[in-house]
Amino acid sequence: MQTTHQDIRSFAYFAEQQLSRGDSELGIDELFDMWRAANPPADELARSVSAVKAAIADMEGGDIGIPADEHLARLRSKFNILHGE
């Protein structure tokens, strides 16, 4: 990913807005993560859109997936996480 002057200005503006709203407890890493989530790189956004389109096509093809609670139970088991941690 190439950083542009516009990226830096956008991040600086975003950080100033967050801090002016009283989020002064946030560090630069948290601010950057929040900004990045709202401003993903074009290639990352394209991959995400493609993945969502593929999932929709799967659903339209009859794949209903698994219930969220079952999926979460599998993840908790896989990563040895107790419920409620």
In this predicted structure, the answer to whether residue 1 has a pLDDT above a threshold of 60 is: no
Would the pTM of this model clear 0.75, i.e. be above it? no
HSE at residue 27, side-chain half, CA atoms within 13 A, is 1
Confidence of residue 3 (pLDDT cuts 50, 70, 90): confident
- The pLDDT score that the predictor gives to residue 75 is 94
Task: Return the domain boundaries, the chain.
Answer: 1-39, 41-85
Give the pLDDT confidence of 12-69 residue by residue, as tens digits.
999 999 999 987 788 999 999 999 999 998 899 999 999 999 999 999 999 988 999 9
Could you give the CA distance from residue 41 to residue 79 in angstroms, rounded to a whole number? 29
Whether the per-residue pLDDT at 11 is higher than 90: the answer is yes
Using the Cα atoms of residue 53, residue 42, residue 37 and residue 84 in order, give the sign of their dihedral: positive
Please calculate the CA angle 69-70-75 and round it to the nearest 5 degrees. 95
